[in-house]
Structure 1
Amino acid sequence: MTPQVRPAVPEDAVELVRLRGLMFEAMSGRPDPGGWQPVAEQVLRERLDGPDELRTMAAFVVDDPDRPGRLAACAVGTLERRLPAPGHPDGLFGFVFNISTDPAHRRRGHGRACTEALVAWFDARRVTRIDLHATESGEALYRALGFHEHSVPLSRERLLYS
């Protein structure tokens, strides 16, 4: 059975942040709550609101069929306009930064369905490159959806903990 995917709405912010926390926990092996959560909720509420054609963030979700108001999975990404270049005539790039499935719903295709919906959202906007950072457990899924290695960028990171 194909999971029912829908676009996220501002009211999903709390659950999207919960799933984001589960993603961080899966990556580090420990929960990492903190000041980032209320800020993330506010950002999601603001950026998932308004007409779809004006949004620079999208999220697609699968509802938990057994728990109304809870999400089983999500995929969240942003749209960025850069200067156009050869092969990138509109200068539109995507970044996927949050794909997470609640442990009780894993291995059922929910993450794949949400990611496919997000990729289709990018495609409808003529995005020419979508980047993401893959965990080892997610790499096979992303490769199956057409993702591959790209040039290794330099990064500057300055972590702030609240």
Structure 2
Amino acid sequence: MDDDEVRRRFDGAVRVELMFRRGYTTARRQRVEAIGHALGYRPLLTENTGWRGLRLVFARDEAPDARRRRELTIARLRTGGPVLPPLETPPPPPPLPPPPAAPQTRTTGPRTSGPPTAPPPPPPPPPALPPNRPRVPPKPSVPPPPPPPPSGG
């Protein structure tokens, strides 16, 4: 099935089904999907039918960008141009995710431009004990009891 025959199959129907006999290639399948995309269709089903080959099912896409793409392709075909634009490039890959955040080694605020600022003052010391309170516990008023007698045995 050449490009013109594939293009004729995408005739504006709501659903288009294409069968490829054995011997199809991945590049050929991608080319058919690109033609369908240019004519405003999206793939619904790709089925490997075993010894019979490959079955592709497409549905007409009614989104505004798909309609515009279909209009531009039909206009290009009417002027004798190719089904697919010669310099059509695939869409750019999505942006990479941001790198993981590095642990901060300093707890200062964000940097600002200009001269460096002085570090914040140190925290105040803990409150001191009242002057009338001793730092060491007082001695007990009674002596401790004597140790128990050793057991004989």
Quickly name the TM-score band, shorter chain normalised. under 0.3
More helix by share: 1
Between 1 and 2, higher relative CO (CA 8 Å, sep ≥ 6) is seen in 1
Compare CA radii of gyration and give the structure with the larger one: 2
